[in-house]
A and B are shown apart, each in its own frame.
Chain A
Amino acid sequence: MKPKTKALMVALCAGPLIAAAQPKSTSDGIAEYRKMLEDGNPADLFEAKGEDLWKRARGPKKATLEKCDLGLGPGVVKGAWVQLPRYFADTGKVQDVESRLVSCMAALQGFNAEEISNTPFGRGEMANVTALATWVAAESRGQRFNLPQKHPEEQRFYELGKRAFFFRGGPMDFSCASCHSVDGKRVRLQELPNLTKNPGDGIGFAAWPAYRVSQGAMWSMQFRLNDCYRQQRFPYPGFASDLTVALGVYMGVNAKGAESIAPAIKR
């Protein structure tokens, strides 16, 4: 018998006694479940795939991404993730990790950026972008968020992101703030991070990309935001649209000091 199974048996037999002595909250149970899952996070596979994609000559130009500048200079990956989204002079835009990767794939490898952006999540080159983002995030695991806010465009995007965060619409009048602007709330049993401030290490912005157990898929932050909007009953947000990047700036700046655990594992 595995130790875990044995522990479970003991727990079941002694259940009523333990329950009376020390009631375990539902969130404790979920935390325990997550801890158990961490032993084998399938995100590792996507991380390895992402590293391989970074170093392999691909695309019409048969080039690698090793000269891609993620904000800290060409080819510097460690530490880049916890400073994204940020302003890039070459594109003249504030970009998150995914839109930046697509720019690099276009400039260095000759891929069609628009074609990638219009590919559904989990398919073709979009799946590769997610794997690359997973690896880039993993290279900053344990580091703390510290998005730059010096450039006026970075400041402007923070302000635009804040406005987008509070924008109510759709048939249910939801905004991001409906669920994510107060501490300690839940939808059903799912705890909701307060994203208007630093919600804590490895929570909210500091956890994505993440492997979704219930979906059996790797989800990037863009995918996460896309599904938030689906559940908000909004229409479909464009991949790496200014809106989604601005939301990233808002959440990322608010999370200043939070430790990144990405790629995490989620329900």
Chain B
Amino acid sequence: MKYHTTNTPARREHGSLRRLRMVALLAATAAAAMTAVGCATLPSARELDAQAAVMIKAAFRDEGIAKVDRIQQDLAQSACSSDKMPEPPTMQKIMQESMATVKWPEGGRFLGDWRQGERLAQNGRGMTWTDASADPKGNGGQCYNCHQISKTELSYGSLGPSLYQYGKLRGVTDPSSPAAEPILKYTWAKIWNSNAYMACSGMPRFGHAKLLNEDQIRHVMALLLDPKSPVNAP
């Protein structure tokens, strides 16, 4: 097992987290004292939140490319970490901030090669602690893990909606036409940062989190939107 001596979690710990740990420690001490005098009660929901944050932080260590900074949450993650959806204003904020992260394709070139897109859709590899590099070049798009896409691949997941006939159902007959532009832009932004249209989306933020590079996203776009792609077979 590897232990990384540089850049330890403690050194990287923010003041806020240190405070959080203090609160949890105090809460735990109080809970222990109450148990001792026989009036044990469950800590409040807020105290439990703080204790859970400390517990989660304490549990993980770096391994390969998967460093502990991966559990430092941004708003889209922290606000979507319960069995309830966040309040509407928070959801609005997440969607606005997410839309602002979208990097549009250079020269307005939205589509690549659907054949390469199919290969990326099939490939579920990348970003685990057993992968050598976090460079998107080595990553798959993981699409079939959750979506039906082409009709020929029967081994598809069902966590996401079916994408079979994606472009055809949306009336994309000529991707270079002005009529197709809104759906091209919508799809690009959805793949780049899924939270732009739905806060707490279950889909990874492929562009924003650097899971796929621009060229790879073009290929996946082509798989969905190129009229010649088997996804849009007549």
Stretch at the interface among A103-111, A137-145, A169-177: A169-177
A236, B144: Cβ atoms closer than 8 Å: no
Closest A residue, CB atoms, query B63: A236
A230, B157: Cβ atoms closer than 8 Å: no
B62, A187: Cβ atoms closer than 8 Å: no
Stretch at the interface among A58-66, A158-166, A253-261: A158-166
B210, A188: Cβ atoms closer than 8 Å: no
Query: Smallest distance from the beta carbon of A259 to chain B beta carbons, Å?
Result: 26
A188, B128: Cβ atoms closer than 8 Å: no
In the bound complex, CA of A155 to CA of B35 (Å): 13
B41, A152: Cβ atoms closer than 8 Å: yes
B1, A120: Cβ atoms closer than 8 Å: yes
Stretch at the interface among B80-88, B166-174, B176-184: B80-88
Residues of chain A contacted by B43 (CB below 8 angstroms): 156
Query: Smallest distance from the beta carbon of B83 to chain A beta carbons, Å?
Result: 6
Q: Is the interface of A mostly helix, strand, loop or mixed?
A: mixed
Across the interface, B59 reaches (CB within 8 A) one of A26, A192, A231, A238, namely A238
A112 within 8 A of B: no
Stretch at the interface among A11-19, A205-213, A239-247: A239-247
A234, B41: Cβ atoms closer than 8 Å: no
Query: Smallest distance from the beta carbon of B19 to chain A beta carbons, Å?
Result: 18
A168 within 8 A of B: yes
Query: Smallest distance from the beta carbon of A7 to chain B beta carbons, Å?
Result: 23
A236, B129: Cβ atoms closer than 8 Å: yes
B31 within 8 A of A: yes
Across the interface, A152 reaches (CB within 8 A) one of B40, B158, B205, namely B40
What is the number of contacts between chain A and chain B, taking CB atoms within 8 Å? 145
A235, B77: Cβ atoms closer than 8 Å: no
Query: Smallest distance from the beta carbon of A253 to chain B beta carbons, Å?
Result: 14
B55 within 8 A of A: yes
A166, B71: Cβ atoms closer than 8 Å: no
In the bound complex, CA of A238 to CA of B57 (Å): 11
Q: Which of B169-199 contact A (CB under 8 A)?
A: none
B68 within 8 A of A: yes
With known contacts A160-B51, A188-B156, A196-B83, A171–B56 Cβ distance under 8 A: no
Q: Is the interface of B mostly helix, strand, loop or mixed?
A: loop
With known contacts A159-B42, A230-B129, A243-B55, A235–B62 Cβ distance under 8 A: yes
B77, A168: Cβ atoms closer than 8 Å: yes
A148 within 8 A of B: no
B104 within 8 A of A: no
A41 within 8 A of B: no
A118 within 8 A of B: yes
B67, A235: Cβ atoms closer than 8 Å: yes
Residues of chain B contacted by A184 (CB below 8 angstroms): 158
B1, A188: Cβ atoms closer than 8 Å: no
B13 within 8 A of A: no
In the bound complex, CA of A234 to CA of B60 (Å): 8
In the bound complex, CA of A168 to CA of B60 (Å): 14
Across the interface, A173 reaches (CB within 8 A) one of B59, B146, B204, namely B204
B159, A243: Cβ atoms closer than 8 Å: no
Residues of chain A contacted by B48 (CB below 8 angstroms): 156, 159-160, 163
What 7 new A-B contacts, CB under 8 Å, besides A171-B204, A234-B71? Answer: A152-B31, A167-B56, A187-B146, A188-B155, A188-B157, A237-B60, A238-B60
Chain B contacts to A: CB under 8 angstroms: 1, 31, 35, 40-43, 48-49, 51-52, 55-56, 58-63, 66-68, 70-73, 76-78, 80-83, 124, 127-130, 134, 144-146, 154-159, 202, 204-205, 209-211
Chain A contacts to B: CB under 8 angstroms: 26, 118, 120, 152, 155-156, 159-160, 162-164, 166-175, 177-179, 181-182, 184-190, 192, 196, 230-231, 233-238, 241-244, 246
